[in-house]
Amino acid sequence: MFRRKSAWTLATLLLIITFSFQPAIGHHYDAREIYHHAWALVKENYYDTSFNGTDWPEYEHKYDDQIQNTDDAFRAIKKMLESLKDPYTRFLDPRAFQDENDAIDAHIVGIGINLQQSRDQTHLIITRTIENSPAEKAGLSPGDELIAIDNACAIGITPEQAAEHIRGQAGTSVKLAVKHAGNQAIVQITRQDIDIRAVQVKMFDSGIGYIQLSTFISSDAAKEFRRALARLAGAKGIIIDLRDNPGGLLANALEMADMLLDGGTIVSTIGRHGKHTDISSGQPLTKQPIVVLVDEESASASEILASAIKDNGRGIVLGTRTYGKGLVQEINRLPGGAALHITVSRYLTPNGSDINKVGIEPDILIENKTDQVKVAYTYLKEKIAYSKPLTKKQLLSTVTNNKTVLSVGHNLIK
């Protein structure tokens, strides 16, 4: 859906969908009830019983005399959540919540970009442009920095704030200032209806399959992944590309991992009510050799899938260290159409590692993105041909001397 959202700006996510609030028929909530409902949800569900050192009972009635209407309640909730100093426990106003629902439904009205804050939270970086979207057609590309939106400075704002400024109806336009390859440019982009596809699939001439998974947020992502595996049933090996994938729904990560593993733990989550471990059914859809590509923007659900494959010895992880987001959020609907993301648990990889703020170290560290695809391709070719895979040094040497030309982004395979 994303009916009124003009940019795909989902932050790093690992979400459980519960939509826990269901209003009683005919019941009217006043503004202070909305605030108190949010306070109680955090009190009962936040994963850290110390609330990150915050005196949570102090906030129950802290803003009562300041709340006269719904907008007051929303502002008070934001202040309350900020006290936790947890960037993932956050308030979504009704429009942002609708946008999130639309993303899950895999349809937006927008320009088709994914934005993330730089690690120092000072800049907005485009991490993906949707194929054939207005943004891609306008020349925007991953790595571009968003400088301004309709002449308003975008430096230091969040992806959600940027989306608020970019929003508009299909057929209307927005003017963006971006820094592209070191040069600043102004582009005028017309918003349009966009269907989000989470998965792209290709088959190389050599019989190596390639699946690019760009998000876990769509409710269709696992179905798309299943169809991709079916299309690559005849492949000799598979590259799964999770680079620039900020995460999404926990359920999608669990289902996709189960399609690949022949047994073992997928992930363990630890929350207020104890520890829960998800185990693979041991009935994989494919047994081909796998290489997973990751980078510093591969986060949350991406890290769950990558670590499940790595720790269970199902395949290797190649690229650079991942983002390091080891916390799980639950979506909670509030009266008035808003919602909360509440961190309800942390998770451990199958080997028991807590990767939060640490990330996953790849089996083979390759920093150059073009070389990452080439090395993955060569690794699979050699693994198929020989029982003993090449060492990293041998792989790099083979890539340097190999005449095979790979250009995944341009569908060129020779």
Positions annotated as catalytic residues are: 300, 311, 325
DSSP string, 20-74: ---PPTT----HHHHHHHHHHHHHHH-S-TTGGG--GGGGSSTTGGG-SSHHHHH
Contacts of 332 (CB under 8 A, 6+ apart): 18, 19, 20, 21, 41, 45, 339, 340, 341, 342
3-state secondary structure of 405: coil
Residue 12, sorted as left (phi over 0), alpha (psi -120 to 50) or beta, turns out to be: beta
Pairing verdict, β 315-319 and 290-294: parallel
- Contact residues for 269 (Cβ-Cβ < 8 A; gap 6+): 275, 276, 277, 278, 328, 345, 346, 347, 348
Q: What's the distance, Cα to Cα, between the start and end of the chain in Å?
A: 39
Token readout for 204 is 């190389």
CB-side exposure of 287: number of CA atoms within 13 Å? 4
Q: How far apart are CA 414 and CA 409, in angstroms?
A: 14
Residue 328, classed as helix, strand or coil, is strand
Residue 375 CA, chain-centre distance (Å), reads 25
Cα–Cα distance for residue pair 390/16, rounded to 1 Å? 40
3-class SS of residue 83: coil
Which tokens sit at 304? 């769950």
